Amino acid sequence: EPIPSADADDRLAAAVAAAERGGAVALDSFRSALDVETKADGPMDAVTAVDRAVQERIFESVGDAYPDDAVVGEEGDALKTVPDTGAAWVVDPIDGTVNYAKGNRVWMTSIAVCRDGEPVAAANYAPATDDLYVAGSGDARRNGDPVTVGDTADPNALLVNPVFGVSASHRRELSKAVDTVCIEFGDVRRFGCAQAALSGVATGELDAVASTVELNAWDTAAGVHLIRRAGGRATDVHGDRWRPGSTGLIASNGEAHDALVDAFDPVE
């Protein structure tokens, strides 16, 4: 584990404030009539004007507090990758837009702070249920209470979220990953919100997530930091320590991590 930088906890406070402000903007329009637009990957790759408004609100909040930090975000022409040096904020204004647009409560406003390319603070806020998951240099917490990953070790008892989205370009990867869980592990859970699944691993609601496809930092960094601070493990698809830009993500309670890597590693 890298030693989190001394300023991680100052930025965590600002990240929580920004996630709550952005989340409030999203909650205002939750379960109202929305114009849902389709992005490059088809109908499951959705976006609304609310996604953009939330990102704007968060960027404003972060820019006021830390004007010299880099800011990465899913929407618009924001920076898309985490720089290798310095402090960078990684923002997913609404993670789980399809759930959000359908009125399903499982969506989050996600913010990670990275230092030299490694997440050091995280705030995942689920406005519809008012659940807040945070971690800086200390314990991961849900609504203020310390949380730890679960202790399920038997592969046949693991609840696994295979892949996050179902983009047009990754249908086959999803079906293979679901197959792998059904055959080698306990059962499938698909939250429809990457950060909710990762937050769930940090609290023991879920045992693992497994993605073999390339992921963006806003779908991963905050949740990976929460899992690490909760005692779990996060690697790429080959079992090497996860970093933004890694290929795939296996994140788990740590108990059956090697079995997960073996099962999902595309090199058979």
Annotated binding site for Mg(2+): 74, 92, 94-95, 219
Among 17, 24, 36, 44, binds ligand 2AM (CB under 6 A): 44
Binding at 173: pick from Ca ion, ligand 2AM, none (beta carbon under 5-8 Å per type): none
Q: How many chain residues are in contact with ligand 2AM, going by CB under 6 A? A: 16
Does residue number 166 form part of the binding site for Ca ion (CB under 5 A)? Answer: no
Does residue number 236 form part of the binding site for Ca ion (CB under 5 A)? Answer: no
CA dihedral 120, 205, 248, 224 (to 10 degrees): 0
Burial of 14-26, coded b for 16+ CB within 10 Å and e otherwise, reads bbbbbbbbbbebb
Among 69, 173, 219, 236, binds Ca ion (CB under 5 A): 219
Which of residues 69 and 92 has its CB atom nearest to Ca ion in the complex?
92
Q: How many chain residues are in contact with Ca ion, going by CB under 5 A? A: 5
Beta strands in the chain (DSSP E): 37-39, 42-47, 70-73, 87-95, 108-115, 118-126, 131-135, 141-142, 145-146, 159-162, 187-188, 208-214, 233-235, 247-252
Which of residues 108 and 147 has its CB atom nearest to Ca ion in the complex?
108
Interface positions, 134-163, toward ligand 2AM (CB under 6 A): none
Show contacts of 238-241: CB within 8 Å, 24+ apart. Answer: 238/265, 238/267, 239/265
Binding at 200: pick from ligand 2AM, Ca ion, none (beta carbon under 5-8 Å per type): none
Q: Which residue is nearest to Ca ion (CB)?
A: 95
Which of residues 95 and 207 has its CB atom nearest to ligand 2AM in the complex?
95
Residues in contact with Ca ion by the rule CB under 5 A: 74, 92, 94-95, 219
